[in-house]
Structure 1
Amino acid sequence: MTCHDLVQQHVRCLLEAPFRAEADRLRQAEEITRTGLRVVEGVLSSATGWELRDWLTGAVIRRGDDGPAGLTRALSGHYDADDLFTDVPEPATPGIPPSLGRAIEEWLFAASTPDQDIAEFIGWPVGEVREHR
């Protein structure tokens, strides 16, 4: 594999990383629900108001007006969806040193880098690059 191929592969990996992370979270949530737990997210709607929602469906499970303490109690016995959003390691491509990987990432996500340049470099349609950026 040439250096050019490695850089192309790394750019694709960086663009796909958020989509892979979301798919992993979804898969993990589905596994958790199979164990009988519900994956939920708690949302404060005001200083005292809150909602508890099913993370997979968005359905409101409970509402309350007893503030953060009430929300904390409502979360008890459920799996908090916030735990699905743990730190995901930076994508790494074998053969790309970390410092070069950071430089590629800066170029890729710089506002001054045109989608067209990225699309031509990695061989993707411009629309797909836009969607992933």
Structure 2
Amino acid sequence: MSDALRVHVRKILQAYATDQEAELIAIRDIEAAGGQIINGGQLYGDEWEILDWRTGTRLAHGFGGLQGYDEACARLDPHNRWRHIDPISEGLEPVEPSATDGVPPSLASALQDWLGSMHTPDEEIAEVAGWDVAQVARCFGRGDR
């Protein structure tokens, strides 16, 4: 495996880690102001659920599509303190890894797709990066919240 490939994979992982840290800072700011981070939404058909983002605990579940979901949010969060996780990361500017000598732009793009795929095992990424699996997992924000 080329050193340039390994260096570029590490750059991408470090960019992901920086993005994850920015998201965690935004989440901590919301929580410090009294907000609660939630996840969930539409499941199948008109079924929905609301989850506590930190614990995964189901806060509510029901049917009725978006209207049912919105009604549950209004009833369970009357002070509008809940913040869905998705817009938090969408509102942040992602870090782009710099170019690496010896890695053509098309390969760099393919590597980014490979690293970003949910189907790429951390073990394979760790092997290419020359890191341990725990280091790779941290770059993706997997682990303690």
- The question of a shared fold, defined as TM-score above 0.5 by the shorter chain, is answered with yes
Report how many aligned residue pairs link the two structures.
121
- Equivalent in the alignment of 2:97: 92
- Could you tell me the TM-score, scaled by structure 1's length? 0.60
Matched, 1:52 2:57: no
Partners of 1:23 and 1:34 in 2: how far apart? 16
C-alpha displacement at 1:34, in angstroms?
Answer: 1.1
Q: Structure 1 pair 85/75, CA: closer, same or farther in 2 (3 Å)?
A: farther
Q: Could you state the TM-score of these two structures normalised by the residue count of structure 2? A: 0.56
Counterparts of residues 1-133 of structure 1 (less than 5 Å): 9-75=7-73, 77=80, 78-86=82-90, 88-89=93-94, 91-93=96-98, 100-106=104-110, 109=114, 119=128, 124-125=130-131
Relative distance call for 1:107 and 1:44 in structure 2 (3 A) is closer
Q: 1:101 to 1:11 in 2, by over 3 A?
A: farther
Residue 94 of structure 2 aligns to which amino acid in structure 1? P
- Segments of structure 1 that go 5 or more residues without pairing to the other structure are none
- Greater relative contact order (CA < 8 Å, ≥ 6 in sequence): 2
Query: Does the CA-based 8 Å contact 2:19-2:95 persist in structure 1?
Result: no
Two-structure CA RMSD over aligned residues (Å): 4.0
> Any gaps of 5 or more consecutive residues in structure 2?
75-79, 141-145
Instruction: Give the greater-gyration-radius structure (CA).
Output: 1
Identity among equivalent positions (%) equals 18
